[in-house]
Each structure stands twice: as C-alpha cells, then as structure tokens.
Amino acid sequence: MPAAPRCPGPERASALTPQQRETARLAATGLTNEQIAEKPGLSPRTVSTHLHQLFPKLGIASRAALRDALERLDHP
C-alpha cells in the first residue's frame, strides 16, 4: 500500500524561498519549466532545481500534487 501524502507543517512551508514558492505557483498552473523561466528571467535548469528542492519540503513527489500542496499552505 503506498504511503499517504504528507501534509507540510509550518516549518516546511516557511522553508520555501520566495522564488521556490513562485516557481511552485507557476508550475501548478501547468506551465513548463521553459515557460516559467521566461517570467522571472531564470533558466529552465534553475526552475528544475527549485522544483526538485521544494517537492520534499511540500511532501510531494510530482508536479500534479503542487496545486493541492500550495492550497494546504495557503489554507491550513
């Protein structure tokens, strides 16, 4: 049986940098790394790194779970 998704605690949410939070918000809307990189002037590789770092902080394993994880952060 797969493990239940973990809800991020306050310490996890506060561990997100402003850039990671914005990257997560944009990725949750369905934008690709390349499209996200155009917005703040980052490279797609940097966007990928931000996503790779924030997934464990949010307790998720895929982009598909970003929207719900961000919703939990905004409305605990």
For residue 14, what pLDDT is reported? 60
Cα 38 from chain centre: 17
Note down the domain range covering 54. Answer: 10-74
CATH code of 64's domain: 1.10.10.10
| 62, part of any domain | yes
C-beta atoms surrounding 40 within 10 Å: 12
Could you say which DSSP state residue 63 is in? G
Tally the domains of the chain.
Answer: 1
Burial of residue 55 (number of CB atoms within 10 Å: 0-12, 13-18, 19+): middle
| 1, part of any domain | no
Mean of pLDDT values over 2-16:
53
Structure confidence by residue, pLDDT tens digits, 20-41: 999 999 999 999 999 999 976 7
Structure confidence by residue, pLDDT tens digits, 43-72: 999 999 999 999 999 999 999 999 999 988
| 59, part of any domain | yes
pTM of the model: 0.75
Whose CA is closest to 63, among 33, 18, 19? 33
